[in-house]
Amino acid sequence: MKVLVPVKRVLDYNVKPRVKADGTGVDLANVKMSMNPFDEIAVEEAIRLKEKGVATEIVVVSIGEQKAQETLRTALAMGADRAILVTAEDRVEPLGVAKILKAIADEEQPQLVILGKQAIDDDNNQTGQMLAGLLGWGQGTFASKVEVSGDSVTVTREVDGGLETDKFKLPAIVTTDLRLNEPRYASLPNIMKAKSKPLATKTAADYGVDVAPRVKTLKVVEPGKRQAGVKVADVDELVMKLKAMGIAK
């Protein structure tokens, strides 16, 4: 079975975001970019399915600027077989991404699409759900365990009260949570090998998708600065201060 894994190039999770002076967004000039961490987990899960003999081919897709090619090469070095880069000048909103992924799914006919639960740059948590809606497929979001057997997939999800286990008919959509697995690092020989794996370059127009933005971001601001703390001599003083602030009785 074929597995499709969409991977997004985002600001590296170790980098502290800086807001542009004009407040229109986060400054991405000269900062380290990496694969969205939840997408690394998605690639890892697809590779594990291939290692178990369940998946036969892993196709990774990225929608973004030309440099998203690096993200795709990382996924290929981890163990994906083939990549599709859909170039876009500007940021594509989740609806546009989902429409492009739907067109690719129609063409590629994967049995499973594994996405990250959210991209850590925009924190949308929308694309997987929208794609499931557009395709009319079942979806297991926030997966902490994925098991494929026959023509169905069983997904364990972390919910407030504990763990929920759901079963879906294939083809289906899965979105990854943090505890699903620990992604592998690409080895140097595999990084070299990935350079010769196939990577097709397309545009949204090739799939007949209009990616014009539907949302206008009005303002982006940095979080408020934390106030300096106060040192207290002992617990009695702490309780006294909390009482004075009306926090303790």
Q: Smallest distance, Å, CB 58 to ligand AMP? A: 14
Give the whole-angstrom CA distance, residue 59 versus residue 6. Answer: 8
Torsion on CA atoms 93, 107, 138, 82, rounded to nearest 10: -80
Compare residues 127 and 181 and give the one whose CB is closer to ligand AMP. Answer: 127
Residue 120 vs 239, nearer CB to ligand AMP: 120
Q: In whole angstroms, give the CA distance from residue 138 to residue 190.
A: 34
Assess 37 for contact with ligand AMP (CB under 6 A). Answer: no
In this structure, which amino acid lies at residue 214? R
Stretch that binds ligand AMP, among 122-130, 220-228, 230-238, 241-249 (CB under 6 A): 122-130
Three-state DSSP state, 172: strand
Residue choice 38, 54, 168, 211 for contact with ligand AMP (CB under 6 A): 38
- C-alpha to C-alpha distance for 74 and 195, rounded to whole angstroms: 10
Instruction: Annotate each residue in 85-114 with x if it binds ligand AMP (CB under 6 A) or - if it does not, as one string.
Output: -------x-x--x-----------------
CB of 7 or CB of 47, closer to ligand AMP: 7
Query: What are the structure tokens assigned to 81, written together?
Result: 């077989």
- Spatial neighbors of 202 by CB under 8 A, at least 6 apart, are 84, 85, 86, 87
Contacts with ligand AMP by CB under 6 A lie at 6-8, 36, 38-39, 42, 61-64, 92, 94, 97, 115-116, 118-119, 122, 124-128
